Structure 1
Amino acid sequence: MALHNDKGKEAEDLVKTWLSGKGYEFLDANYRHRHAEIDLIFTYRGILVFVEVKFRSGTGFGFAEEFVDATKRKLLIKAADHYIYEKDWHKDIRFDIVGVYRDRNGNVNFRHFEDAFY
Structure 2
Amino acid sequence: MAEHNDQGSKAEQMAKDWLVANGYQFITANYRYKHAEIDLIMEKGGILIFVEVKYRSGTGYGYAEEFVDYRKRQLIIRAADNYIYEEDWKKDIRFDIVGVYQSKSGGIAFKHFEDAFY
TM-score tier, shorter chain, comes to: over 0.9
Instruction: Confirm whether residue 62 of structure 1 aligns to residue 62 of structure 2.
Output: yes
Offset at residue 30 of structure 1 (A): 0.1
Offset at residue 111 of structure 1 (A): 0.4
SS at match of 1:105: coil
**Count of residue pairs the alignment pairs up:** 118
Q: Which stretches of structure 1, 4 residues or more, deviate above 6 A after TM superposition?
A: none
Q: Deviations over 1:71-100 (max 9, x none)?
A: 000000000000000001000000000000
Separation in structure 2 between the aligned mates of residue 72 and residue 16 of structure 1, nearest angstrom: 20
Q: Deviations over 1:6-37 (max 9, x none)?
A: 00000000000000001100000000000000
Match of 1:38 in 2: 38
Match of 1:80 in 2: 80
Match of 1:11 in 2: 11
Instruction: Confirm whether residue 90 of structure 1 aligns to residue 66 of structure 2.
Output: no
Q: Percent identity?
A: 66
Separation in structure 2 between the aligned mates of residue 101 and residue 22 of structure 1, nearest angstrom: 18
SS at match of 1:115: coil
TM-score by length of 1: 0.99
One-letter amino acid of the structure 1 residue matched with residue 78 of structure 2: K
Separation in structure 1 between the aligned mates of residue 16 and residue 62 of structure 2, nearest angstrom: 23
RMSD: 0.3
SS at match of 2:7: helix
Instruction: Confirm whether residue 71 of structure 1 aligns to residue 71 of structure 2.
Output: yes
Structure 1: unaligned runs, 5 residues or longer: none
Q: Deviations over 1:22-57 (max 9, x none)?
A: 110000000000000000000010000000000000
Separation in structure 1 between the aligned mates of residue 29 and residue 63 of structure 2, nearest angstrom: 23
